[in-house]
Structure 1
Amino acid sequence: MATVANSVPHEILVEVDPFIPADQQKASGYCSFRIHCINISYPQGLHNRWHPDIPAFATVKPGQVFDIHCVDWTGAQIGNNDTSDDIQNIDLSKIHNLSGPIAVEGAEPGDCLVVDILDVRPFDKMPWGYTGIFELENGGGLFAREFNSRAAKAIWDFKGIYATSRHIPGVRFAGVSHPGLIGTAPSHELLATWNAREGALIEAHANSVPPVAYGPLEKGAYVGQDLEEEVMKKIAREGARTIPGREHGGNCDIKNLSRGSRCYFPVFVKGANLSVGDLHFSQGDGELSFCGAIEMAGVIKFSTSIIKGGIEKFALKQPIFLPSPIDPLYSSKLVFEGISVDYHGDGKQYNMDATVAYKQAALNAIAYLQKIGYTREQAYLLLSAAPVESHVGAVVDSPNACVTLALPLGIFEHDILPKEEGLTKLNFGQCAIRPSSHLTPAHAQDWMSINEVTG
C-alpha cells in the first residue's frame, strides 16, 4: 500500500502564472520604483536585473531538492497567434524575467556552488513556445544587418518531447530543454567591472544598430519584492542587464546544459543567490536570431551543494559544467562549412575570425534550405530552434578559421540530401511575418512571391 507519510513533495520556491505579465504577477506585488512602493503580503520572486542588493527570495539547505517556476524570457509579451506584431513591438527594457534569487546556506564568496539540473519542462497548461526574428532597430540578431531584419516568428507545439510548428512545416524534433539563463549574483566590485567595461564598449560604438551592448537602464527595471524605494532606485540605476553571459554564468544559452547536467558556479556573495530563467524547449548551437531558441515558460528542478574555496581550487574564472547524459540521437547530419571570408557579403577577407566563419556556415545552410522551399525567415528560425551542432574545425590555418554547422537529417519529414538531379523544391508557406505594407521592398517581394505560390 502506498505510504503518504514518507511521500514528501519537492517544495516549489517560486510560483508564477505564465499568462500574466511578469511585473503584474499577484495583484499585491511590488511595482517598479517609478511607481511608489506598495506594501505586499506575497512577493513573487522575479527580477530582471543583476545586482548584489537584490535580497534572496528563498533559502535552501545543501542537498535540498526544489522546484522553480519560470515565466518566458519576455514576461508574457508574446502570444500564440499568426502575427509578428508582438515581436516587432516588444519592450526589451523588461527582459529577462528571472526567478529567484535563491540563497544556499553556507555558501560564501570564494566558494563553488554546485547545481544539479534535475528536470526542465514546460507548464502543462502552456504546451507551446516560440522562436522570433527581431527588428534591426529593436534587438536584431546575428544577421540583423545582412537581412535588414524585420519581425517574424514561429509558434511551436509540444507533444511530449517533440516539437512541431504550423509556421515551419515538415520538421519534427526532440527538444533538449534547458535554462538559457542561470547564474549567481555578482558582488559590488564585479558589477562595477561589468558596467565599466561594457560602458566603454557602448561609448566606442555609440551609434551602432543594433547596439553592441546594453548598459544599465532605469526604465523597465523590476524586482518582485518589497524593497525600500531608495534600494530599488539603486538597483535600477546600477543593475546589469541580463542580455549577455558573464563571469557568473548568466545568459550563455548553452543547449547541452540540460536535464541531468551538473554546473559549477563561482560564488561572489553570501548565499550565492542563484537565479534562473529564459527556459528553452530546444535550441541550436549559436541561437542565431536573438530570440532564437524555442522560448517557453515552465518548471525547473534543482539540487545544490557547496565546495569550499572552489574558485581557487578550480581556477574558476567562469562556470564549468558536465553535459546531460540525455541527448536526442541524431547521428546522420548534413554539415556546412564556413571560413573567415564574407563571401555572402562584400567578399572581405578576415584573419582567423570564427564569428565570420560561423555566419558563413549558417548562411550556406540557409541558402540550401531555400533551395528545398523554405523561405529565408523559416530557415533562419529553424537553424535557431532545432538541435543543430556547431564546431570550430580549425583556428590555426591563417587567415581562415573554419567553423561547421551540422543539420540533423532526422528532423525532416522529407529527404534533403544532395542528388544528381538536384533538390526537390516544396511549398512550406511562410512563418508569421509583418504585413507587406511595413516591409522593405525586398521583403515585400518575398511575401508576394509566397502568396503567388500558395494562392
Structure 2
Amino acid sequence: MEVDEGEDVLLETRDAFDGQMRPGVTEADFAGMDAGVIHPLTGPVAVKGAAPGDLLEVEFVDIQPQPHAFSVIFPGFGFLRDVFTEPFMVHWNIADGFATSDQIPGVRVPGASFMGVSGVAPSHAQLSEWTRREAELASRGGVALPPDAGGAVPIAGVGATHGIRTLPPRENGGNFDVKQLSTGSKLLLPVAVEGALFSTGDAHFAQGDGEVCVTAVEMGATCTVRFRVLKGEAERQNIRWPRFSREDYYIAPEWAAPRRFVATMGMPVREDGVNEGENLTLACRNAILNMIDLLQERGFSRDQAYVICSVAVDLKVSNVVDVPNFVVSAFLPEDLFVG
C-alpha cells in the first residue's frame, strides 16, 4: 500500500515461523518443518514523499498480540547451541497481559509487545555491498548465510537468488530484536529507495535482552504504525545506522533494572581457567550459564531455565574498562514467579 505521513497504518503480521508452531506441535514435529520460511514480513508500505537521503520515523502506535505464542530450543541455533543440542517446545497462553505455559509452570511473563523485525528496502548498491562483505566474512571463517531462494516470497525474480537474509539486522533495519521498541517508541531508519518501503513482522510478546535461545515469546500480532519523513536528515547528518527513542521512558524503570531481581555475573574466564581478557562474548556466555545454574537450583530443568533466560532475563554490559575482566550481568525479575 501507499500512505501519507501521519496516517495510522494497521498491519496484520504472522509469527516468526509462519504458523508452523501452532498449538499441539511437539518436539517430534521439528524435523518436518521448513526453516526457509522464517521471518514472514508484512509489507512493503510506501510512504509518500520519502526519498533517498531522508530519515523515516516509524512510531509504534499499538501492538495487539494473538492469544497463542511459543518459544523453542531449536538444535543448531541460539547463543548456547553447543550446550543445548536437543529440541524443546513451549506453548504460551496470552491473557490479561501475561504469558503462561504448562511447559514452565509457576512462571508468569508480563507482556511488553514489540516487533522483532522492522526495516526499509535496501538499494541495489547496498544489496551488492552487504552480500560482498558477508561473503568475505564467511571466507574468514565467520558465520554469514549466503542468499538462497529456499522459502523466498515471491519465488520468481531476482530477489529470490540475490536477496539478503533476514536473520541479521543491517543499516536499513531488520531483525533487531530490541525489546524497547514497544508501543510508544519511535524508530529512525535511513531511506535508500523512493517511498522507503517499510516492512515489519516477527512480533514478540516478551523477551529478555539477549534472546539467548533464539526465540522470545513468539506470536502473530496486529501492529499499528505511523510515519513521518525527515527530509534530507540522513544525508545532512550522515546517519547510516538506525536509531530509536521513547519520550516516556521514565515510566518504565524496569528496563534499567526490575524492582526485585537476582543477577549473576559473567567474566571472560574459560572453564579450564584460561583468561580471555576483554572477551565480551565469553562474559555473556558465562553470565547466562551462571543464571541457568541458579534457575536449576530453584527446581527448573536445564531446558526450562534456558527458555526463561531467553524470554525474561536481561543481559547488560556492566563494565568494559576493568581489564582484563569485563563484566556482563544477567538480571532475573523476581516478580516472574507465582505461587
TM-score relative to the length of structure 1: 0.71
* Equivalence map 1:424-435=2 (5 Å): none
Amino acid aligned to 2:23: N
The residue correspondences of 1:109-188 to structure 2 (distance < 5 A) are: 109-123=52-66, 127-136=67-76, 140-147=77-84, 149-188=85-124
Separation in 2, partners of 1:112, 1:62: 13
Bigger mean CA deviation after superposition, 100-109 or 70-79:
70-79
Cα shift at 1:195: 0.6
Give distance in 2, aligned partners of 1:390 and 1:238: 35
Is 2:224 aligned against 1:298?
Answer: no
Q: Residues 323 and 293 from structure 1, CA distance in 2 versus in 1: closer, same or farther, beyond 3 angstroms?
A: farther
Look up the equivalent residue of 1:128 and give its one-letter code: H
Amino acid paired to 1:266: P
1:399 aligns with 2:336: no
1:404 alignment partner AA: S
Whole-angstrom distance in 1 between the partners of 2:33 and 2:275 = 36
Aligned-pair CA distance for 1:390: 2.0
The 10-residue stretch of structure 1 (279-288 or 353-362) with the greater mean CA deviation from structure 2: 353-362
Write the mapping of 1:23-422 to structure 2, written as runs, cut at 5 A: 58-81=1-24, 83-123=26-66, 127-136=67-76, 140-147=77-84, 149-205=85-141, 212-223=143-154, 232-290=156-214, 292-323=215-246, 325=248, 327=252, 329=254, 330-343=258-271, 346-386=272-312, 388-413=313-338
2:99 alignment partner, SS class: strand
Considering fraction of residues, name the structure with more strand. Answer: 2
Deviation at 1:86, TM superposition (A): 3.4
Q: Return the alpha-carbon distance in structure 2 between the equivalents of residues 88 and 382 of structure 1.
A: 24
Q: Give, as a single letter, the amino acid of the residue that structure 2 aligns with 1:391.
A: K
- Structure 1 residues 324 and 284, CA gap change in structure 2 (3 angstroms): farther
Q: Secondary structure at the match of 2:158?
A: helix
Query: How far does the alpha carbon of each residue in 1:359-403 deviate from its partner, in whole angstroms, 9 at most, with x for none?
Result: 1101100011111110110000011112x3221111112222111
Tell me how far 1:92 sits from its aligned partner: 1.8
Tell me how far apart the structure 1 counterparts of residues 178 and 56 of structure 2 sit (CA, whole Å).
Answer: 18
- The amino acid of 1:342's aligned partner reads R
Alignment-mate amino acid for residue 244 of structure 1: P
Q: Which residue of 2 aligns with 1:444?
A: none
Letter in 1 for 2:149: E
Q: 346-355 or 403-412, which moves further after superposition?
A: 346-355
Secondary structure of the residue aligned to 1:81 is coil
Aligned pairs, how many? Answer: 334
Task: Write the distance in 2 (CA, Å) between the matches of 1:216 and 1:398.
Answer: 39
Cα deviation code 1:395-419 (max 9, x no counterpart): 11222211111100111125xxxxx
Distance 1:289 1:320, change over 3 A: same
> SS at the partner of 1:217?
coil
- Structure 1 stretches of 5 or more lacking a match? 1-57, 224-228, 415-455
Distance 1:327 1:88 in 2: 40
Give the CA deviation at 1:327: 4.1
Shift of 1:298: 1.2
Whether contact under 8 Å (1:338, 1:402) holds in the other structure is: yes
CA distance in 1, matches of 2:226, 2:115: 15
Whether the aligned pair in 2 keeps the contact of 1:88 and 1:150 (CA below 8 Å) is no
* Structure 2 unaligned regions, length at least 5: none
**Offset of 1:82 from its aligned partner?**
5.9
> In 2, Cα distance between the equivalents of 1:175 and 1:162?
5
The residue type paired with residue 71 of structure 2 is: T
Structure with larger RCO (C-alpha < 8 A, sep 6+):
2
Retained in 2: the 8 A contact 1:71–1:298?
A: yes
How large is the RMSD of aligned CA atoms in angstroms? 1.7
Q: 1:204 to 1:89 in 2, by over 3 A?
A: farther
Distance (Å, rounded) in 1 between the aligned partners of 2:32 and 2:167: 18
Residue type of the partner of 1:405?
A
Q: Does structure 2 conserve the Cα–Cα contact (< 8 Å) formed by 1:257 and 1:324?
A: no
Following TM superposition, by how much is the alpha carbon of 1:181 offset from its aligned partner in structure 2, in angstroms? 0.4
Aligned to 1:453: none
Change over 3 Å in CA distance of 1:170–1:131 after alignment to 2: same
CA drift of 1:324 comes to 7.0
* Percent of paired sites with the same residue: 38
Q: How far off its partner does 1:350 sit?
A: 1.5
| Residues 372/324 of structure 1: CA separation in 2 closer, same or farther (3 Å cut) | farther
Distance in 2 between residues matched to 1:201 and 1:254, nearest whole Å? 24
Contact persistence 1:112–1:308 (CA under 8 A): yes
TM-score computed with the length of structure 2 as normaliser: 0.94
